[in-house]
A and B are shown apart, each in its own frame.
Chain A
Amino acid sequence: MRSPKFGMSALILILILASAFGFFFSVKMVDFSARSYANDYLMIDDSEYAVRYSNQAPNGIYRGKFENTAELVAEGFFGYDWGAALSGDTLIVNEYGNTSLGLMLCDLVRIDLNTGKKEVLMRDTTLRGRCASGELVCVSGVMMDVNAPKTNPLCAFFCLGNPDSKPGTALISYLDPATGEVLYSVREKEFPDKIFEARFLDRTLEEVMG
């Protein structure tokens, strides 16, 4: 049998070109089709800052009580669902992002509300709220349910590159709300929301450590 000189390399080149066209059209088509109306303006506690979710204006943190006159401080898709910690002019909050094919990721970020400067405190980490003694409770190393991690092999692929990711477990960290410093970390198995709340949010840091 003769070794073909034109075979496999040419096939791969054709695949590269064809998939470039394929990706361009399919990803762009999904981008254009996944549109729905949104325009929410949620004030953060009693402050003059708000989180805006909108496809009419840039998403992000705004300064001002009224959305029409508000000023954009930091652009991004921030979460106010599981709490945000405002301390002086510093806000600690979840920021959501997508991979190129739509895997949703969450980082814990700290935003200086004066300058709009954004700093990632913990990668692939979700702020879940405050414990009974006031510290911030964060969960790392877990893919969000919206990514269907039980069936989606891309989640497994993504987790391979993260030392904090271990299947079935989560790294739970307690952070100082003022400084963002990690006070205590513990690795536990993944819990459903109700058990998580009773075990980590309804107790004080001392009780969890004890």
Chain B
Amino acid sequence: MKFGITNKNSLSGAWLAIRLFQVISFVPAAFFLVISGYRGILLENNVLSQIFSCGLCALPCGETAGLSALYRLSHSEILAHFLLLGIALAVGLITGPILRGSEKAGRVLRFVMLGVLALDIPLGILFNIYGYFGLVPVICGSAIRLGFAALIVADLIAARKANAADPE
């Protein structure tokens, strides 16, 4: 793995962060899918439901709140499931060309991602004031998002070092 912005064919921090985000988006979606076949899972506090909560809290809060509002409006978990997968797909498709594009666009994308994470982490902790999912998922979710931020910062630092060594 190489950190930086211009290494287009290598695994960069931002690329990894986006892929992790997509994987996390699968977790609640998978839970929706499992309970459609086995409803008894709702009656017991199990590992899957904890993972579901972690997955939700690890997602950006805007997405979680939006999905919850949609769920409330439509009374359809299935719609929320497909929207989750759709968001994960769209994030990959939109950011892919940007990450492989110009250095300037790649830098802007990384700063946008950092901005979103900077808003997301305090909002995630604020959600916990109401205690819907408990402390453990919020700690896990915040740790994952801090990990994303560290990967992106590593990219930016590597790019700055490369620019300092070779200003051309």
Contacts and interface: CB of A to CB of B under 8 A. Distances in A.
A152 B81 CA distance: 16
A156 interface: yes
A97 B19 CA distance: 38
A136 to B, nearest CB: 24
B75 A22 contact: no
Contact of B31 (A147, A153, A156): A153
Nearest to A148: B43
A19 to B, nearest CB: 5
Contacts of B68: 157-161
Interface stretch (B83-91, B104-112, B147-155, B157-165): B83-91
Please report whether the interface of chain B is mostly helix, strand, loop or mixed according to DSSP. helix
B76 A100 contact: yes
Interface stretch (A10-18, A48-56, A62-70, A74-82): A10-18
Nearest to B73: A161
Contact of A99 (B1, B8, B19, B71): B71
Contacts of B29: 15, 19
A105 B39 contact: no
Contacts of A22: 33, 36-37
Given A22-B37, A23-B81, A157-B68, A151 B42 contact: yes
Contacts of A156: 53, 132-133
Interface stretch (B9-17, B113-121, B138-146): B9-17
Bin the interface of chain A by size: 35 or more
Nearest to A5: B96
Contact of B36 (A15, A26, A162, A168): A26
B45 A1 contact: no
A162 B65 CA distance: 10
A124 to B, nearest CB: 8
B85 to A, nearest CB: 5
Given A12-B85, A26-B37, A161-B71, A100 B9 contact: no
A20 to B, nearest CB: 8
A154 B42 contact: yes
30 contacts: A3-B9, A3-B100, A9-B96, A15-B26, A19-B29, A19-B82, A22-B37, A23-B33, A30-B36, A99-B76, A100-B78, A101-B39, A102-B39, A103-B75, A105-B75, A148-B42, A150-B45, A151-B42, A151-B45, A153-B56, A153-B133, A154-B77, A156-B53, A157-B56, A157-B64, A157-B67, A157-B132, A158-B68, A160-B68, A168-B131
Interface of A: 1-3, 8-9, 12-13, 15-16, 19-20, 22-23, 26-27, 29-30, 97-103, 105, 147-148, 150-154, 156-162, 166-168
Given A19-B29, A168-B131, 16 more contacts: A1-B1, A8-B19, A9-B96, A12-B85, A12-B88, A12-B89, A16-B85, A20-B82, A23-B78, A27-B78, A99-B77, A101-B35, A151-B44, A153-B52, A154-B42, A161-B71
By Cβ-Cβ distance, the 5 closest A-B pairs, closest first, are A161-B68, A160-B68, A156-B132, A26-B37, A161-B69
